[in-house]
């Protein structure tokens, strides 16, 4: 069903996998050599992000931000480690993707919880909008791929969301992060919907 006349742009995530392969592979090998497994890395990253979410729910944005900044890249090593072991699997990628969604929702949920408890309607609304955008970006891609369309595009994919959120939390600027995520996360979902629409129309010609 895919129309080859519509070129899928290369995302920042794709570029970073190429740019940092020279350092990610040795780190992945190191963890394998000390007995860590891909599933253990997935669990470690998820636990770290949930702990970060707890700090955020208490208004400790800098502490939560540091945990997210440090441990989210560790979670990204599981796929590399599976590849180095020669055992990458569709199910492993599926579980990794689900854990990423849980972690991101927990983080934004922690921020929303804090602002709701503070009676900050704007903060809690922005956190909800940011979480909605994050879920929709992933859902649109998954739904499009189930129909054999491409939807791996957009200004704010998961890597970009991480690069916005974690540093701004470390600098104790959560509202700025939420504004960016709320606006551009949902805009990215709309970009993907439009990209799928273009493919669908091209296939009808």
CB-CB contact of 38 with 78 (8 Å)? yes
Catalytic hit among 75, 78, 96, 100: 100
Q: How many of the other CB atoms lie within 10 Å of CB of 92?
A: 18
CA dihedral 41, 14, 1, 139 (to 10 degrees): 50
* Measured distance CA(76)–CA(197) in Å, rounded: 31
Q: Is residue 173 within 8 Å of 62, Cβ to Cβ?
A: no
Give dist(CA 86, CA 97) in Å, integer: 19
In 3D space, the residue among 138, 168, 172, 130 whose CA is nearest the CA of residue 154 turns out to be 138
- How far apart (Å, rounded) are the C-alpha atoms in residues 62 and 81? 30
Dihedral angle of Cα 65, 114, 181, 151, to the nearest 10 degrees: 90
> Would residue 100 show up in a list of annotated catalytic residues for this protein?
yes
Residues with catalytic function: 100
């Amino acid at each position: 069903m895919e129309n080859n006349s519509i070129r899928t742009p290369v995302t920042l995530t794709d570029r970073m996998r190429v740019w940092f392969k020279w350092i990610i592979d040795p780190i992945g090998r190191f963890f394998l050599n000390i007995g860590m497994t891909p599933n253990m890395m997935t669990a470690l990253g998820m636990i770290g992000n949930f702990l970060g979410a707890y700090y955020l729910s208490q208004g400790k944005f800098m502490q939560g931000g540091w945990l997210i900044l440090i441990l989210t890249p560790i979670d990204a090593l599981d796929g590399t480690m599976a590849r180095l072991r020669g055992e990458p699997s569709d199910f492993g990628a599926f579980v990794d993707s689900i854990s990423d969604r849980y972690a991101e929702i927990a983080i934004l949920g922690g921020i929303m919880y804090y602002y709701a408890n503070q009676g900050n309607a704007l903060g809690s609304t922005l956190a909800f909008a940011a979480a909605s955008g994050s879920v929709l970006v992933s859902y649109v891609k998954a739904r499009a791929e189930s129909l054999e369309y491409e939807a791996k595009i957009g200004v704010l994919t998961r890597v970009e969301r991480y690069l916005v959120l974690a540093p701004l939390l470390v600098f104790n600027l959560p509202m700025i992060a939420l504004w960016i995520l709320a606006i551009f996360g949902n805009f990215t979902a709309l970009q993907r919907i439009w990209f799928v629409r273009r493919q669908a129309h091209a296939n009808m010609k």
